Amino acid sequence: MRFFSFLFFFVCTFLLSHSTVLAEENSRGIVLSPAFQEILLDTNDKQRDFSLSVTNTENSAVTLRITVFDFGSLDESGGVAFLGAENDLSKKYALASWIRPEKDVFMLESNETKKILVTIENREGLSPGGHYGALLFRGEGTNEEGGTSNSIALKQSLSSLVFVKKIGGEIYHLELKESKYENNPVLFQDMMRLRFQNSGNVHLIPRGTITVTDPLKRIVGKGVINEESAIILPETFRIYPVALRTIAPLFVPGRYTVDISYRYDGQEAFSSATFSFDFFPFPATLGSLILIAGLGWYGAIYWRKRSKKGKKSSVTDIEQSNAQ
């Protein structure tokens, strides 16, 4: 089967953030930093080096083993999957074969910190564009009864993701494929979901804004796209929730317009999309119903009085006619 080569996968709860992640920590007291690394690789570079810091805050020594995997998008929400071997798409953006940590196994004494040197080898076969790998740190042995007392549990692990961009043939293309706004005709909804497609060969970070305009052309709502600086991997889709905040009173019923302007980091020009929805703010709707009810009541009373007056006038005319 195509995915038989998956060794394992799990969903990372954090979004792929462009901002530096300071540390990743488990409950046993092992700290790995940074959890996110972005490397720019020129075609003339033979290799690029970076380091990871690992600290043991336990009361006993631990032994850690480093394993290298490729990773890709697990779903459109931002989760990632660690891959043991590649299908066609993951092979295209693989990195594990070009990652070389200085050691595979090492020991950390209690309260000791070590710097682990990692090399990205720019060998033949590493094509221009984006490549994605992860270094997984797992315990050797267990702390459970009958196991070694100086190691963390085998099931526990820490990871550091590596994003490499090789210069010399990058393709950048970001497109908004769908905007989802669950409109309530009388209550303003403060959330929108944008579905982007990255059809290029490098990872991108979408940016942009959303504005909501009422029938009087007043801007009544705003939202910022991707405030967390979350990454979308190449040839994938990703959904970005956008919070909308009201900046002016909502009292005008009618058709509202949503304008979406977006780009990716490094691009100057914005792309745009627009759609409309019908909205009748609750206060305005309630006020309109009260006004209509009041006008109806007033009209009914007026018509009633007028009808009585008309009947009275007719009776008087008949009496005068009989008298003559």
pLDDT band at residue 75 using 50, 70 and 90 as cut-offs: confident
With cut-offs at 50, 70 and 90, classify the pLDDT of residue 18. very low
Q: What is the mean pLDDT of the segment spanning 3-26?
A: 39
Does residue 263 surpass a pLDDT of 50? yes
Instruction: Report d(CA 240, CA 215) in Å as an integer.
Output: 27
User: What is the C-alpha to C-alpha distance for residues 105 and 286, in angstroms, rounded to an integer?
Assistant: 70
Q: How far is CA 298 from CA 44, 106, 209, 292, in A?
A: 85, 88, 48, 10
Listed by start position, the domains of the chain span 24-166, 174-282
- Bin 229: left if φ > 0, else alpha if -120 < ψ < 50, else beta: left
Tens-digit pLDDT profile for residues 156-199: 688 999 999 999 999 999 999 999 999 998 899 999 999 999 99
Question: What pLDDT does residue 288 have?
Answer: 64
Q: Residue 66 — pLDDT band, cuts 50, 70, 90?
A: very high
Task: Say whether pLDDT at 78 is over 90.
Answer: no
pLDDT value for 293: 73
Do 194 and 176 contact (CB within 8 A), yes or no?
yes
pLDDT the model gives residue 9: 40
> How do 36-41 and 24-25 pair as beta strands?
unpaired
For residues 288-303, give the mean pLDDT: 73
Domain spanning 24-166, CATH class: mainly beta
pLDDT tens-digit readout, 108-134: 999 999 999 999 999 888 999 999 999
Instruction: Specify the pairing of strand 80-83 against strand 36-41.
Output: unpaired
CA-to-CA distance for 291 and 115, rounded, in angstroms? Answer: 73
d(CA 13, CA 11): 6
Q: Is the pLDDT of residue 4 over 60?
A: no
Domains 24-166 and 174-282 share a fold: yes
pLDDT at 275 over 50: yes
Label residue 1 by pLDDT band (50, 70, 90).
very low
Of the ranges 129-133, 145-149, 239-243, 301-305, which one carries the lowest mean pLDDT score? Answer: 145-149
Whether 310 shows a pLDDT value over 70: the answer reads no
pLDDT in tens, 212-227: 999 999 999 999 999 9
Check residue 312 and give its pLDDT: 58
**Is the domain 174-282 a CATH 2.60.40.10 member?**
yes
